[in-house]
């Protein structure tokens, strides 16, 4: 049987959402079934624009595929599929279709603006879930983006007619198309009055005013050119609301005006860095005092004045000065633990003492796990799992 291409109602009636059609074929699919109709208002994924969703009889349309070889359109449905020969009612999801028409028409206008102002071609278009992108043939400056965005919105607000017409290849060759069509044969042209003429199979609004607003969302260098992300229509309003709420919250928190935000945040970061530095210096100083206090509780082990202490709430950075400061006030060897249950240890000795701090820390790590080491004069470790009595025993043996 020779496949007959599906009549595409959206080619001539892009605003039509409800239609009746006859089921031509039903094929089983991974999920549900693939339905072929004699005609359809459902747009299949192609040309950078995603498929429409909606209902076909009692079934949900979850994907629409363009079989370019045969020209058939396949509707992937979930739920009860219709049978071959059935007459079915199709309903396209209007909100999704309107959104796609706003983004797609906006793309024609924005691409034409870059082309007319700077002769920069659009290489490709992708209509994304949140933002859409066009890839430009060369990198563009911020000033160029601003001018193209401004011109594109002037075209939106002048509410020009967006026409649809069909021409054959030879006629198309004589027309000032923005881009050479990728395929031959009969071509569908989208004509934004006195602004842009492009061959395109997608769905577009009837007047540019329906696009509402074209807002550039971001840009980056991409493959030797530029990738411009943009939002149109309702998406532009949604994006504005997200930005507004973020800016309002930040402005309240920092007590600045919106334009002062970047500077306000930079100032805050500098203050935090400064505070961190001061906190570290104070912690160090506090540890020195604490170390001197520990020295007061020193005991004699192996004929030396030693400190063997367990302290709360210290980090590796504050534990070390604790041990060294104890040794600065008459203690021969100081061994201080903190951070139960994953013990940290700092060990220090006074000048001239014959004791190997590094060897002690190594011995503790070998026995109780963890990592650490150092020199004979001072050493540190962490991650040891042991009871206080077990740790104390190893230390006392080493000092004796």
What residues line the site for Zn ion (CB under 5 A)?
104, 200, 202
Q: Which CB, 202 or 291, lies closer to Zn ion?
A: 202
**Residue 114, φ and ψ in degrees, nearest 5:** -65, -40
Least CB distance to Zn ion at residue 65 (A): 19
Q: Which CB, 99 or 340, lies closer to Zn ion?
A: 99
Q: Which among 44, 72, 42, 71 has a CA at the least distance from the CA of 55?
A: 42
Least CB distance to Zn ion at residue 200 (A): 3
Distance CA 141, CA 124 (A): 19
Q: Are the beta carbons of 40 and 66 closer than 8 angstroms?
A: no
Tokens of 213: 């607003």
Least CB distance to Zn ion at residue 105 (A): 7
Distance CA 242, CA 182 (A): 38
List Cα–Cα distances, 309 to 7, 20, 65, 332, 346, in angstroms: 87, 86, 74, 14, 10
- What H or E segment, with its residue span, contains residue 307? strand 304-310
Least CB distance to Zn ion at residue 204 (A): 6
Least CB distance to Zn ion at residue 199 (A): 9
Q: Which CB, 44 or 202, lies closer to Zn ion?
A: 202
Q: Which CB, 99 or 390, lies closer to Zn ion?
A: 99
Q: Which CB, 81 or 202, lies closer to Zn ion?
A: 202
Least CB distance to Zn ion at residue 109 (A): 10
Return the residue nearest Zn ion (CB atom): 200
CA angle 150, 152, 158 (to 5 degrees): 100
Q: Which CB, 200 or 214, lies closer to Zn ion?
A: 200
| 3-state SS class at 336 | strand
């Amino acid at each position: 049987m020779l496949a007959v291409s599906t009549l595409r109602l959206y080619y001539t009636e892009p605003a039509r959402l409800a239609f009746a059609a006859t089921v031509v074929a039903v094929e089983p699919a991974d999920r549900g079934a693939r339905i072929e109709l004699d005609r359809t208002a459902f747009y299949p994924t192609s040309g950078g624009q995603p498929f429409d969703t909606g209902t076909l009889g009692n079934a949900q349309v979850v994907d629409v595929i363009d079989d370019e070889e045969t020209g058939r359109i396949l509707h992937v449905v979930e739920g009860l599929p219709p049978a071959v020969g059935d007459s079915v009612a199709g309903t396209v999801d209007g909100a999704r279709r309107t959104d796609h028409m706003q983004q797609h028409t906006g793309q024609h206008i924005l691409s034409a603006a870059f082309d007319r102002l700077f002769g920069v071609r659009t290489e490709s278009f992708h209509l994304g879930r949140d933002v859409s992108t066009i890839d430009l043939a060369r990198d563009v400056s911020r000033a160029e983006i601003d001018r193209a965005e401004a011109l594109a919105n002037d075209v939106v607000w002048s509410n020009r007619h967006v026409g649809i017409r069909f021409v054959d290849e030879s006629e198309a060759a004589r027309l000032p198309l923005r881009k050479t069509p990728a395929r031959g044969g009969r071509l569908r042209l989208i004509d934004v009055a006195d602004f842009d003429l492009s061959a395109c199979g997608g769905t577009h609004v009837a007047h540019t005013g329906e696009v509402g607003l074209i807002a550039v969302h971001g840009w980056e260098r991409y493959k030797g050119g530029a990738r411009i992300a943009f939002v149109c229509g309702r998406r532009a309003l949604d994006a504005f609301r997200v930005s507004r709420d973020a800016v309002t919250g930040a402005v309240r928190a920092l007590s600045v005006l919106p334009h002062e935000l970047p500077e306000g945040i930079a100032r805050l970061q500098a203050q935090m860095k400064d505070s961190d530095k001061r906190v570290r210096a104070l912690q160090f100083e506090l540890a020195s005092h604490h170390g001197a206090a520990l020295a007061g509780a020193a005991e004699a082990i192996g004929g030396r004045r030693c400190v063997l202490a367990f302290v709360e709430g210290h980090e590796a950075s504050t534990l070390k000065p604790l041990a060294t400061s104890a040794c600065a006030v008459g203690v021969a060897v100081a061994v201080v633990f903190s951070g139960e249950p994953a013990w940290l240890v700092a060990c220090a000795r006074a000048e001239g003492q014959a004791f190997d701090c590094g060897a002690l820390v190594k011995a503790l790590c070998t026995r109780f796990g963890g990592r650490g080491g150092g020199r004979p004069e001072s050493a540190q470790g962490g991650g040891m799992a042991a009871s206080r009595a077990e740790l104390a025993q190893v230390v006392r043996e080493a000092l004796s």
